[in-house]
Structure 1
């Protein structure tokens, strides 16, 4: 966000920077051990908004037929890189994993300082959600993440 100075003119870009309009983006989903496949009918989508240097990002993934959750833990790319922070996290949020027709699990979305991706942790686990966490993924299962963080620029 640019600081307003005497003599600056109002432009569409400056107004949009303040308005918090939602913009679509396509996040990249990665399994650290590889092998992740959305399957036929599987989708991943994202949207985000910015007010100053505050970013709110939303990611949704649904597995289709023939999906493979891969191995290892998962990361999802953010629309804008997070700020490098001296201590703590650049941002936090919530994750919801839906085991279709069975259960819903909640977790904490974690954006580390300087990161370009987000992961979700739950149940005191030392590793983020992934191939078998918080459950074994299958057709129709989905994950939704909402994270708020400080942008690098």
Structure 2
């Protein structure tokens, strides 16, 4: 169902209605890396949206690499959240979701995504790489060497601060 705003005569603003309605609202995430050269979307596609429901924020995010997409070097990829996450009881606790990376025409790589306690970004992790090596955070070469046409999707729910 598309977002239509609050009912006529409602004292609730459009922004507040979007936050409590459970309807999906688009947002524009920033794609960065923890170190090294940052990735660049170029002519690729990056789409994200969030829905607020009962004090929880669910996001879905997807990226399709274009011929002008560069994947950076070095650090793990991160994507900004629509709202910072609440701090959990301990720094090592995290919000956990799911992710899937697709080496177009080759293979799928199931993974997880996580938001650190009090974090402002989500990052993906795969348990294994294309070479069978131990996995880790997604980078330009993990879980496989990313190229034009490759894509991924993320889904996670967390509590905003």
Q: Does 1:49 align with 2:51?
A: yes
Distance 2:48 2:79 in 1: 10
Q: Cα distance, 1:84 vs. partner?
A: 0.4
**Equivalent position of 1:141 in the other structure:** 150
Distance 2:11 2:52 in 1: 16
Worse overlay, 80-89 or 110-119: 80-89
Q: Does 1:38 align with 2:47?
A: no
Number of aligned residue pairs: give it: 142
Q: Structure 1: any 5+ residue segments left out of the alignment?
A: 1-9
**What does residue range 55-66 of structure 1 map to in structure 2 within 5 Å?**
55-66=57-68
Q: Structure 2: any 5+ residue segments left out of the alignment?
A: 1-9, 129-133
- Deviation per residue, 1:118-146 (Å, 9 max, x gap): 01112165631111110000001111111
Distance 2:144 2:109 in 1: 9
Distance 2:37 2:96 in 1: 25
**What does residue range 98-113 of structure 1 map to in structure 2 within 5 Å?**
98-113=102-117
Q: Cα distance, 1:16 vs. partner?
A: 4.7
TM-score (norm 2): 0.80
Over aligned residue pairs, what C-alpha RMSD do you find?
Answer: 1.9
Worse overlay, 30-39 or 66-75: 30-39
Worse overlay, 87-96 or 72-81: 87-96
- Deviation per residue, 1:63-87 (Å, 9 max, x gap): 1013221112100001010000113
TM-score (norm 1): 0.83
**SS at structure 2 position matched to 1:144:** strand
**SS at structure 2 position matched to 1:69:** coil
CA 1:111–1:35 in structure 2 vs 1: closer, same or farther (change >3 Å)? closer
In the alignment, is the contact (CA less than 8 A) between 1:110 and 1:120 conserved in 2? yes
